[in-house]
Amino acid sequence: MPLLSVLPKLRAMTTALITHPDCLNHLTPEGHPERVDRLHAIAAALQDFNLLRLEAPMGEDAHILRTHPQTHIDRVKSAGVGPLDADTHMSEGSLTAAYRGVGAVVKAVDMVMGGEVSNTFCAIRPPGHHAERETPMGFCLFGNVTIAAKHALEVYGLSRVAIMDFDVHHGNGTQDLVWEDARILFASTHQMPLYPGSGAASETGAHGNVLNCPLGPETDGASFRKVMKDQVLPAIDAFAPELVLISAGFDAHMNDPLSNLNWVEDDFACATHQLCDLADKHCEGRVVSTLEGGYDLAGLAASCSAHVKVLMERGK
Ligand SMILES: [Zn+2]
């Protein structure tokens, strides 16, 4: 019998999971929903997945400066320990955690653009989509997904990058950071009314490059699927992105304590499939997904694993 026939079939790993233990050192006050256990829950849910597992390098100021001014970096660096606002807290490990997050998304773009993997999921915290140009807020310090988009545009010479944000909260920070940049399409589904209050359909960006799809409280995954089909997917398709980024918040899950949407795991899986369809059509399947919210640990773990499972199925 030929030797090869008895070897286990080798399957190339097509999805990278990028994270770092330093992201566990961003500590928030007792009772804060954005807590260390979120990453433990995700790690447990993904532990048996056949992922290429990588530690995030440290991000660099040069990466952040494409998105935030030096004054913002200086403010975060010099904040010390304590609250930046009512929601956003710094502990001794927060700055390093945030720089690991930046490093993770930059590494993810490098790997996907370099063809090392088809897609990536960055399990990082603090999250990023509420951080505005000069304002850390909503648990977020740096606009991770926008930093990833700008890295792809500047380093790889891309012309069009799409960001889809299905976190239950509007990504006001991402919207602020991409508002003037016609090279970036930002599409968001989110509950309205809800924190932070922005994200009306009338907010469309300086170049028509922002698409906001607010959803009413207590709506379920069917509303999300309809708005994806009718608005988000056609907009991304028409934009013909060269890279698809996902702000993957899982707090629209029906059990999430911070919101009132009633999505289930399969809704996240469906959206991931649809975004992979467009990535296949326009950019050889290149998808970089990064964690935003999700505060019910069981709902987060199940939804995140459904999302990553689809990324793995769709990678090639
Ligand atoms: Zn959220």
Virtual torsion, Cα 85, 91, 95, 98, nearest 10 deg: -70
Paired tokens of 260: 């009132």
Q: Is residue 4 part of a domain?
A: no
User: What pLDDT, in 10s, does the model give residues 29-71?
Assistant: 999 999 999 999 999 999 999 999 999 999 999 999 999 999 9
Q: Is residue 32 part of a domain?
A: yes
Say how many Å lie between the CA of residue 295 and the centre of ligand 1.
Answer: 8
Say how many Å lie between the CA of residue 92 and the centre of ligand 1.
Answer: 24
Residue 209 pairs in a beta bridge with none
Which structural domain, as residue segments, surrounds residue 275? Answer: 14-314
94-113 helix and 70-77 helix, angle to the nearest 10 degrees:
140
Q: Is residue 283 part of a domain?
A: yes
User: What pLDDT, in 10s, does the model give residues 75-121?
Assistant: 999 999 999 999 999 999 999 999 999 999 999 999 999 999 999 99
Q: Is residue 154 part of a domain?
A: yes
> Tens-digit pLDDT profile for the chain (316 aa)?
555 555 544 445 699 999 999 999 999 999 999 999 999 999 999 999 999 999 999 999 999 999 999 999 999 999 999 999 999 999 999 999 999 999 999 999 999 999 999 999 999 999 999 999 999 999 999 999 999 999 999 999 999 999 999 999 999 999 999 999 999 999 999 999 999 999 999 999 999 999 999 999 999 999 999 999 999 999 999 999 999 999 999 999 999 999 999 999 999 999 999 999 999 999 999 999 999 999 999 999 999 999 999 999 999 7
CATH number, position 166: 3.40.800.20
What is the C-alpha separation between 149 and 184, in angstroms, rounded?
A: 7
Catalytic residues: 130
52: left (phi over 0), alpha (psi -120 to 50) or beta: beta
Q: Is residue 257 part of a domain?
A: yes
pLDDT of residue 157: 97
Q: Is residue 133 part of a domain?
A: yes
Q: pTM of the entire structure?
A: 0.96
Q: How many structural domains are present in the chain?
A: 1
Say how many Å lie between the CA of residue 282 and the centre of ligand 1.
Answer: 28
Say how many Å lie between the CA of residue 4 and the centre of ligand 1.
Answer: 49
Q: Is residue 6 part of a domain?
A: no
Question: Within its chain, how far is the Cα of 209 from the centroid?
Answer: 18
Paired tokens of 159: 């012309």
Say how many Å lie between the CA of residue 196 and the centre of ligand 1.
Answer: 10
Q: Are 92 and 98 a contacting pair, CB within 8 Å?
A: no
Say how many Å lie between the CA of residue 1 and the centre of ligand 1.
Answer: 56
pLDDT of residue 29: 97
Say how many Å lie between the CA of residue 116 and the centre of ligand 1.
Answer: 30
Q: Is residue 61 part of a domain?
A: yes
